[in-house]
Amino acid sequence: MQNSTTSKEKILKQIRKALTHKSSQEIGDVDKESEIFNVSEEPLEIQFAQNFLALNGKFIFCENSTEFIENFDFISKDNNWKNLFCLEPTIKDLLNKASIKFSDQEADFLATDIGITLCECLVARTGSVMITSKQASGRRLPIYPNEHVVIAFTSQLVYNIKDALKFIREKYNNQIPSMIATISGPSRTADIEKTLVQGAHGPKEIYVFLIDDLTAE
């Protein structure tokens, strides 16, 4: 016991000495800007689509808003979507033009099956959708319904998460939203008997309709 105590005291003494006598070795400047990962030469929309699909997301590219309406109407009917809910003015205008029924009334929220939202950014490297509490959809709509439909634009594509955060800071003039979240495919967990379950604590399916707003229609 005495030897054990002595050894412990020696170790503690060495630690205290190290803390009080700082190394004189200078640490060079840390490169915070260079990318850690290899940067793909593929366009951002291709990178996002590949990574998002790998996470079991469903991706639809639309050359313009007219094609979006056509694709959305087809997929909605093909999947027999009902109880659509949307709070985003931009999307509501598109849905009204297509005569697609939806609700924006609080009384209908609990019956929602399909939540339709915009997003802040699409992160190409991780295939993630970034949302914040400052969007018209708020905190609830992206996570409550069985299926989440995201309408995004090519101008919202960024390469990495740090680029997305910079995008948000500039958009809101450094007034950072109280909630920033990234969605990487449908919710899933393997907590129960190590069996992967999709949609355990959020939407079972997530769709991204990407509309090209950088190419002239």
152, 207 Cβ separation under 8 angstroms: no
Give the list of residues 6+ apart from residue 33 with CB closer than 8 angstroms, or none.
Answer: none
Answer yes or no: is 142 within a domain: yes
Whether residue 26 is contained in a domain is answered as: no
Q: Two tokens at 82?
A: 């009902």
What digits encode the pLDDT tens for the residues 60-84? 999 999 999 999 999 999 999 999 9
The answer to whether residue 37 sits within a structural domain is no
pLDDT of residue 214: 86
Q: What is the pLDDT of residues 85-105, one digit of tens each?
A: 999 999 999 999 889 999 999
Q: State the pTM of this model.
A: 0.78
Which is higher by pLDDT, 202 or 45? 45
Q: What is the mean pLDDT of the chain?
A: 86
The reply to whether 56 falls in a domain is yes
Asked if 155 and 186 touch (Cβ cutoff 8 Å), the reply is: no
The per-residue pLDDT for range 166-215, each reduced to its tens digit, is 999 999 998 999 999 999 888 666 555 655 555 566 789 999 999 999 87
> Does residue 29 fall inside a structural domain?
no
Structure tokens at 179: 């909630």
Any domain includes 12: no
HSE of 217, CA atoms in CB hemisphere, 13 A: 10
**Residue 40: is it exposed, middle or buried by C-beta count within 10 angstroms (0-12/13-18/19+)?**
middle
Return the higher-pLDDT residue of 156 and 39. Answer: 156
Q: Let me know: does 210 contact 59? Beta carbons within 8 Å.
A: yes
Confidence of residue 30 (pLDDT cuts 50, 70, 90): low
Q: What is the CATH number of the domain that holds 173?
A: 3.40.50.10420
Query: What kind and span of H or E run contains 47?
Result: helix 44-54
Is residue 97, in this structure, part of any structural domain at all? yes
Range of the domain at 101: 42-187+198-211
Domain count, the chain: 1
- Residue-wise pLDDT for 132-158, tens only, equals 999 999 999 999 999 999 999 999 999
Identify whether 193 is part of a domain.
no
> Within a 13 Å sphere around the CA of 20, how many CA atoms are in the beta-carbon half?
6
Q: What is the DSSP letter of 201?
A: S
